[in-house]
Amino acid sequence: MRGLKIILFFVLIIFLQSLTCQQQNDRYETRLVYRVDSVKVLQNNQKTVTLRIIATVPTPCYEFDYFRTQFRRDTVDIYVYARTDRETICVQVLGAIKHQITIAFPKAGNYVLHFAGRSKDVYFPLGVD
């Protein structure tokens, strides 16, 4: 009987820890930005490009979270994500985020940057040194 209580105790602890982890992950809502409005090249050398982007987000409470890239021959798909705290009350108007991203290219050449968005995709030609 004592062994059963110990096992139940550990099962309860593991269950409570999993709930805590889930609550931390659910704290933020992450979304693909609506669209990228502006792209400016800040640095372009040795197959590394730094860009400043401005993107439209659902509310002003969103902040940059992360971006990911996918290379397809001479096209680079770029997905920019923003997040907000689910518990924050925010005015319901569109907002904007500004952020710098750095992309390492496999080789020098001419590329088309494809910024995927929820409402609009943007294409930006770029020569990489």
Query: For 69-128, what is each residue's pLDDT tens digit?
Result: 999 989 999 999 999 999 989 998 999 999 999 999 999 999 999 999 888 888 989 989
Q: Where are the domains of the chain?
A: 28-128
Q: Which long-range contacts (CB under 8 A, 24 or more apart) does 104-112 make?
A: 104/47, 104/48, 105/47, 105/48, 105/49, 105/71, 105/76, 106/47, 106/71, 107/47, 108/47, 109/74, 110/74, 111/74, 111/75, 111/76, 112/74, 112/75, 112/76
Query: How much is the pLDDT for 46?
Result: 86
Q: Which residue has the tokens 């710098």?
A: 100
Question: pLDDT band at 10, cuts 50/70/90?
Answer: low
Query: How much is the pLDDT for 117?
Result: 87
For residue 6, is pLDDT > 90?
no
